[in-house]
Structure 1
Amino acid sequence: MISLIAADEVPQPAYSSGVMLLIAAVAVGALLFLIMKVKLHAFVALVLISLLTAIAAGIPLGDIPAAMAEGFNTTLGSVALLVGFGVMLGRLLEVSGGAQILADTLVTRFGEKRAPLALGVAALLFGIPIFFDAGLVVFLPIILTVARRFGGSVLLYALPAAGAFAAMHAMIPPHPGPVAAAEALKGNIGLTLVVGLPLAVITWYVGSYLVSQFLGKRFHVDVPDVLFGEVNDGNDEDEKAVLRQPSFAVVLMLLLLPFALIASNTVVATLGASGAIDAEAGWAEFLVLIGQTPVALLLTVLASVAVLVRPGRMAEAQSLMDGALGPICAIILITGAGGMFGGVLRASGIGAAMTESLGDLGLPLLLQAFVIATALRVAQGSATVALTTTAGLIAAAAAEANLSDLRLVLLVIAIAAGSTVLSHVNDSGFWLVSRFFQMDEKTTLKTWTVMETTIGLTAFALAAVLWPLG
């Protein structure tokens, strides 16, 4: 989810494949030990293990600071603005009672038993144009308010939505991973969307929704209040003096605004790449600009302030937003440090060592694509990097096999499946989910990691079933 690495830019390991794999295994084990047993703060533990891993993996000492900073800065640059603007928007919706109104409407329309399904379906629709982390941030106030309304484990409501964003991010154009994979394999991007979309929906329902309902009943996680404070229903007189209570239509408009802006960017970029429009035209560049995720969320926060804050109450509204920013500092730093750890593993060439050890196994092409993507995902954490790198590594074999357009699409799905499984401590998304829902690392491994794995396995099973039809 963090950065793109072309196949010809994969760093070569300093030691043999066996040694590099041992270093990776020891690094992950040591990190889990420090966090779960020693109870060392996750941010400190991630930075320490990143440093020690870089040294052990043979990265030149003078290059280690840059290797650590690259993963940290790349992740922080994408996450900090999204989380910051997202929680400010969430705070305004929470305190104004807007999130409660939206939750009440969902309850009325779908009923208590179908509320998790409704959240997941909405996330599937919104997840077509928007990245995983941005979608999750914008959906947070809805997830938490619905969970507070019904009680029980927050996972019953959080995992279906998070799983929907994760599935769409990995499998569906115009997200960068599947687009880059389809291009590397000389596949048809339009067919990838047409075939991939129903497969993604089935994958979500089986691998995320059904699994999340089982996990949510087995693992109780209290609804967190660190992000938005105590629940607000919009009836507090002091709050009414600062913020207007919005209607359902206004809340829906504020939530749809960032998705509409980001979708405009996606459409213009796609049409420009195909030559259907002039991508350098002023209007096209403007739509691309306002559709950049941080800009879209900034404009949405400004729109929320204009709609919800009463005249002359900006100082109090500023205090409300300040209160939302303080608690997320740890989330941002830990997520950035998770990106640092993944970046060090990428820079060390551990992913190349894993693919080298798997390249001569003589596996069928579809299974080989899944296994290599899984190895890269486990080794360095980023789903997008696993997607793009695996596609580059198997492109020659795919061309030699002279595959049909359908089989090329299924190959992209298999790669996406492998790049989704086994999200763990080197994945910044793991830390985002863990900290947003206030889960410890052990619980996150037993819930989020398990669900990501069932999503990937379901997608691969669907691709394998359809492969003979190609």
Structure 2
Amino acid sequence: MTELDMNWVLSTPALLGVAAGSIALLLVLIMKFKVHAFLSLIIVSLLTAVATGIPTDRLVSTLLNGFGGTLAGVALLVGLGAMLGRMLETSGGAQVLTDALIKRFGEKRAPLALGVASLMLGFPIFFDAGLVVMLPIIFAVARRLGGSFLAYGFPSAVAFSVMHIFVPPHPGPVAATGLLGADVGLVLIFGLVVALPTWFVVGRLFGGYVGRKYNIPVPSILSSKTDNFKEFESAPKVGTVLSLLLLPIGLIFLNTGLNMAATAGLVSLDDAWVQVLRAFGETPVALLITVLLGMILLGWKKRKSSGLIEAVVDSALGPVAAVILITGAGGMFGGVLQASGIGTAIAESLDSIGLPVIVAGFVIAAVVRIAQGSATVALTTSAALLQPVVMSNSTYNPVELAAIVLALAAGSVFAGHVNDSGFWLISRFFEMDTKTTLKTWTVGQALVGVVGFTIALAIYLVASLF
């Protein structure tokens, strides 16, 4: 039975009702009954498939195709990015880079230096891991220089947040990129275009405001991270750390640049040398090369044992397993929605009310984010809902697709509050009460969503002119 056949069985209002019921059930399972997001997405995907009339003999294959297709694009990037981040963390490269930046910027610009360091470290390191790594450094700087701790901690926290939500290889943008068929290289490039100004407005400007308005003492709590790899520390040179951070970006830029050059007729994609260089610039290959180089520069060159290097790299995979599975389950949900015809019904509804897809995606992601807390679930859910709409419209150019992904990402970070684990991470590590955290972090996350969406919309509108 094709999607068209199923549309004869269920009317558009019925399909929309199933979509609304699926989202409501997902939120109830996660919020009220505290069912893990991975399990909730599987349950809702299965029930949605049954409710929309997908034949029994295609039920499991539809679920597995959506799950496997998403993991193919997500697992490698997230796993390799986590490995690189773990090596930088345990080697002491994070602290070396931060110290160098503070020396370069000076004490008066310490918040800016910490924010810049966090932006750079936020490329391979996840939000919570990066923040925990930076906190001892932020504490030390704040104690030495004085003033409200928020003036130092807030810019760094926002830096990790914007990099985590807008820039691959972090799981949310990677999953949405795969679901919507966007080019991951363009999403990375334009993700930086969105993330950096957003950080400046929210982390730098708004962070300076909350630092002046709320006098938060330097927290007494220290990171209680258990470090089983003390012997891996080597205090690498700043140039080494910078090379590991910039290499994957440079390789991916190379791939994207060659694609653009081919479109302009400057090179041919059939040339062997072009194909080889493009292969090096594919995101999984670029990250693999960087991880191998990290093992050499931070491990073997420092005379670390192969067993220790293997243990450090292996330790990165456990914490990201749940994230990878959740994004895969989000892809499963998307596969069901695409096969069921719900996407077509959503497209018809959007056309009837005249709401552009990029705006609708932002609104859907923001609503799901506010309702259930997880930015990753909000992003993958909204991308899954819009996937059939986007795939059925062949007029979107690659830049427009990248802008849509980033608009969804902006919505998925909007106004994180008490149902978001990141909210409590900030509240407890910064030693702020709930009310103050709402006035600072929640408002800041809302601003990240609004500013990020505004920039993504501007990119989309400019791209639509060409």
Using the size of structure 1 for normalisation, the TM-score is: 0.66
Task: Specify the code of the residue in structure 2 equivalent to 1:352.
Answer: T
- Deviation string 1:336-373 (CA, Å, 9 cap, x unpaired) is 11222233223322222122123234x4xxx6454555
Work out the CA distance in 1 between the residues paired with 2:77 and 2:182: 26
Task: State the partner residue of 1:345.
Answer: 337
Q: 1:319 aligns with which of 293, 298, 311?
A: 311
Task: State the partner residue of 1:458.
Answer: 454
Any runs of at least 4 consecutive aligned residues in structure 1 with deviations exceeding 6 A, and if so which? 138-141, 152-155, 179-182, 194-201, 207-217, 223-226, 375-380, 408-414, 433-439, 445-449, 463-467
Task: State the partner residue of 2:349.
Answer: 357
- Deviation string 1:154-194 (CA, Å, 9 cap, x unpaired) is 8753444443575678xxxxx989x9999xxxxxxx9xxx9
Q: Is the 8 A contact 1:262 1:293 kept in 2?
A: yes
Task: State the partner residue of 1:402.
Answer: none
Q: 2:134 aligns with which of 141, 146, 163?
A: 146
TM-fit CA distance, 1:455:
4.0
TM-fit CA distance, 1:246:
0.6
Task: State the partner residue of 1:331.
Answer: 323
Confirm whether residue 96 of structure 1 aligns to residue 91 of structure 2: yes
TM-fit CA distance, 1:83:
1.9
Residues 214 and 180 (structure 1), Cα distance of their counterparts in 2 relative to 1, 3 Å cut = farther
Q: Is the 8 A contact 1:290 1:296 kept in 2?
A: yes
Q: 1:32 aligns with which of 27, 42, 46?
A: 27
Other structure's SS at 1:55 match: helix
Q: Is the 8 A contact 1:420 1:452 kept in 2?
A: no
Q: Is the 8 A contact 1:46 1:341 kept in 2?
A: yes
- Deviation string 1:81-101 (CA, Å, 9 cap, x unpaired) is 122222222222112111111
Residues 47 and 267 (structure 1), Cα distance of their counterparts in 2 relative to 1, 3 Å cut = same
Q: Which moved more, 1:46-55 or 1:304-313?
A: 304-313
Task: State the partner residue of 1:404.
Answer: none
Task: Specify the code of the residue in structure 1 equivalent to 2:260.
Answer: T
Confirm whether residue 107 of structure 1 aligns to residue 97 of structure 2: no
Residues 40 and 210 (structure 1), Cα distance of their counterparts in 2 relative to 1, 3 Å cut = farther
Work out the CA distance in 2 between the residues paired with 1:224 and 1:66: 48
Work out the CA distance in 1 between the residues paired with 2:80 and 2:423: 14
Work out the CA distance in 2 between the residues paired with 1:119 and 1:59: 50
Confirm whether residue 287 of structure 1 aligns to residue 277 of structure 2: yes
Task: Specify the code of the residue in structure 1 equivalent to 2:98.
Answer: A
Residues 436 and 291 (structure 1), Cα distance of their counterparts in 2 relative to 1, 3 Å cut = farther
Task: State the partner residue of 2:116.
Answer: 118
Confirm whether residue 41 of structure 1 aligns to residue 15 of structure 2: no
- Deviation string 1:200-222 (CA, Å, 9 cap, x unpaired) is 865665578767889999xxxxx
Work out the CA distance in 1 between the residues paired with 2:320 and 2:194: 35
Task: Specify the code of the residue in structure 1 equivalent to 2:138.
Answer: F
Q: 1:18 aligns with which of 1, 13, 38?
A: 13
Other structure's SS at 2:316 match: helix
Q: Is the 8 A contact 2:158 2:203 kept in 1?
A: yes
Work out the CA distance in 1 between the residues paired with 2:280 and 2:321: 26
Q: Is the 8 A contact 1:120 1:209 kept in 2?
A: no
Work out the CA distance in 1 between the residues paired with 2:424 and 2:66: 24
Work out the CA distance in 2 between the residues paired with 1:253 and 1:160: 20
Higher RCO, Cα 8 Å, sep 6+: 1
How do residues 422-433 of structure 1 correspond to structure 2 at under 5 angstroms?
Answer: 422-423=411-412
Work out the CA distance in 2 between the residues paired with 1:142 and 1:66: 38
Work out the CA distance in 2 between the residues paired with 1:302 and 1:264: 19
Residues 412 and 55 (structure 1), Cα distance of their counterparts in 2 relative to 1, 3 Å cut = closer
Other structure's SS at 1:99 match: helix
TM-fit CA distance, 1:109:
3.8
Percent identity between the aligned chains?
34
Residues 385 and 213 (structure 1), Cα distance of their counterparts in 2 relative to 1, 3 Å cut = farther
Task: State the partner residue of 1:275.
Answer: 265
Task: Specify the code of the residue in structure 2 equivalent to 1:279.
Answer: L
Question: Which blocks of at least 5 consecutive residues in structure 2 are unaligned?
Answer: 140-148, 169-175, 215-220, 369-377, 414-419, 427-436
Q: Is the 8 A contact 1:420 1:455 kept in 2?
A: no
How do residues 335-414 of structure 1 correspond to structure 2 at under 5 angstroms?
Answer: 335-361=327-353, 363=354, 368=356, 370-371=358-359, 381=381, 383=383, 386=386, 389-390=389-390, 393=393
Q: 1:85 aligns with which of 45, 60, 80?
A: 80
Residue-pair matches, total: 402
- Deviation string 1:376-424 (CA, Å, 9 cap, x unpaired) is 878974659959945975959xxxxxxxxxxx99988986776455439
Work out the CA distance in 1 between the residues paired with 2:89 and 2:248: 18
Task: State the partner residue of 1:131.
Answer: none
- Deviation string 1:295-351 (CA, Å, 9 cap, x unpaired) is 111111111111122336111221222222223222221221122223322332222
Task: Specify the code of the residue in structure 1 equivalent to 2:454.
Answer: T
Task: Specify the code of the residue in structure 2 equivalent to 1:163.
Answer: V
Residues 213 and 148 (structure 1), Cα distance of their counterparts in 2 relative to 1, 3 Å cut = farther
Work out the CA distance in 1 between the residues paired with 2:88 and 2:459: 41
* CA RMSD, 1 decimal: 5.3
Residues 149 and 270 (structure 1), Cα distance of their counterparts in 2 relative to 1, 3 Å cut = same
Task: State the partner residue of 1:259.
Answer: 249
